[in-house]
Structure 1
Amino acid sequence: MRKDDFFKELDDMDIDRIAQEFPVLTFDEKERIYAMSERKYDKENGADKDYSDKDEIVVSGVEQYKRPSWYKYASAAAAVVLVIGGISGSMLLMKHGKTFHPDNTDLSTATTGEETTLHTGTHEQNGTSTEPATKESVFIPATTAEDTEPTTVETTTYAQTEPEDDYEAIALELSDKFADLVNRLNRNVQYDPYDMLDFYITTSDRYLYNQSESYYYRVTEPGFEFPANYTDAFKEICTEELYESLYSKAGTENKSDTSIDINLSKTFKADLSRYYTGDHVELFMDYGIYTADFIIYRGGLYVCTDSLPGNWKTYSDQPSIIQMGDSSFTSIRNALFSPVCKDSASQNGEPLSFTFVKEGDSWKISGIVKIPN
């Protein structure tokens, strides 16, 4: 738009806004502005008028300068161009330039003689590294003038499978806990010798007049003073499926020859709270069981001390890993504890196959099978 046509393009809204922002001038002010405008107009149109000898009007003060409205948009556009240029340059630098550590060490290549080896990644130039865990330093160049300090991001790659030594440690811990629990079921617990009960208990499905007297003492083993402590301990090291198998209410006659003869449902079944010490008890008629190594009596757990084993053994060897996977493995170990090993004088024991699986962050025993000789 030509400046001569500027006032021709104004609409009513612009006229109103200008009228509000600029008040009506006085007669003297109008004359002064008119004289200045006329002089400037004649000068630009080549008028040969000499105003040097005429009276001049001196304007004092400084006229306030206001940037055009389009100036801020042009500035924003220029800033966008600078940012795009900086990002593009950084990407080219990352793609084609060398990588440096913050201490100015060149990490991209290290040349020795005629052979060049990469240092920053887990892969070598002609092969893949087999290291289980490595750390990488990734250089990130600055993208702005203010941020001139290079930064590094460390990334760690871990091996997906655990080494065999870790599997052996897991097998040792869980199989030891299993043997310890089985020995506790075999009455290897502390008890109070002053808190005693005695009953005449029939251990047959026939009524007997001459019953033998059995003695029970209150269990004081820390952490194993109630039936729930034993079942919870098995749940902690066994999968749900294996626990249900060990707790099975079916009799041992339905179990295979390779199964472990443990029936938690019958271990703590006899509740003799209604009897008094010295009474006659028919176990089979009342509870469907032939023996009771433990009884429940008025809120307490009592253990039978008749014919206790001389000692309680565990294994004759360390676990041996025979099969490994990402989330499961199998181990063999020779057990000396009852009821796996029937021969108390055995030195080698009976071989057991343990299968372990990972559930979340914990390893558990998923299967225990006796290996036939």
Structure 2
Amino acid sequence: MASLALAAGCSGSPNTHPNGDATVPAATATVAISPADGATKVAPTGALRVTAAAGKLTRITVTAPGDTNVPGKVSADRTTWTPSRPLRTGTHYQVTATAQDSSGHTVTQQSAFTTLTPAHKAAATVNVVAGETYGVGMEVEVRFKDPVSDKAAVMRAITVSATPAVLVVGHWFGDDQVDFRPQQYWTPGTRATVHLRLDGVQTAPGAYGTQQQDITFAIGRSQISTIDDRTKQLLVVRDGKLVRTLPGSLGAPGHTTYNGQMVISEKYRVIDMDSRTVGLGSSYNIKDVPHAMRLTTSGTFIHGNYWRPSFVFGNQDTSHGCVGLRDVRGGGDPSTPAAWFYNNSLIGDVVIVKGTPDRTVQPGNGLNGWNMSWSAWTTTSS
């Protein structure tokens, strides 16, 4: 403020010492920083603004512990600067801004303020774990606890990078889930990183994200398994080569299996399966189902089956929509087809079902966005 007062008092005229020597004229430019110095509970977006009058902005630095060199955008006439991303919540920022007038004289202004600590935090969960290896069909799923109203802001704050480089785009399923994938299956050996920059992003009125982290994961070998209802044989193809053929059983009439590309999203060595959890009443309640791997949110699994005779597999459809492979109760025999498939599968591996009388699985029912065209995926990506 002293600099601004000095500039106003001089009015651009030279001062003269008693001995007659002229001093250097003061800058006529002024700098204004909003919010005011010492402000608290400042909104992370829309509040910070730096302006210059009678001159051009030449340098702006905005720093905070853990958030150095905040990037920004300057107007074409270099009189206004605003940050290009949200500030972090509950953080003390310092701003230093310099402007220069037409004579080359400069003035610098400083300010400090603290952003608000949100009463409501918009928590998000991510389905990938740092350091883990996934199959080539893996989709990154970010799910919010509460509905998101500003989807565009959230989409700008979440990116996925990869080596080798590939474009990865997000697509919203409803108001609380956004999934990311490339156009084609991942290249084996890829290293990918999810960049979460949600701290300070207003997801809905009064709700702000607070997460600021990177999650790096790997893509392993390619394994794509296909079962055709006409043959009832699961063909396991790894890195382009057929490595195993396993007889299976699909959904019986009235409970047929979805067609389409489905991705393994969860693995359970043993799980209990109750038809009431998937809206099928009291149709079944099977204990100790071995080697179960989830394919859809709605309840489709590929799993071991110990309650059907061996001749069923490869010949009859007997399930309520799942893909069944021969197994023993509890999964204690490693030589069964189901045990082999479980032990040789990753979360993110692809299982394709063909030839059933059912419809194609919905893209948002599990990690199954591969059933949506790339144009549709990217057109509604925000």
TM-score (norm 1): 0.19
Greater relative contact order (Cα < 8 A, sep 6+): 2
Kindly name which structure, 1 or 2, has the bigger radius of gyration based on alpha carbons.
Answer: 1
More strand by share: 2
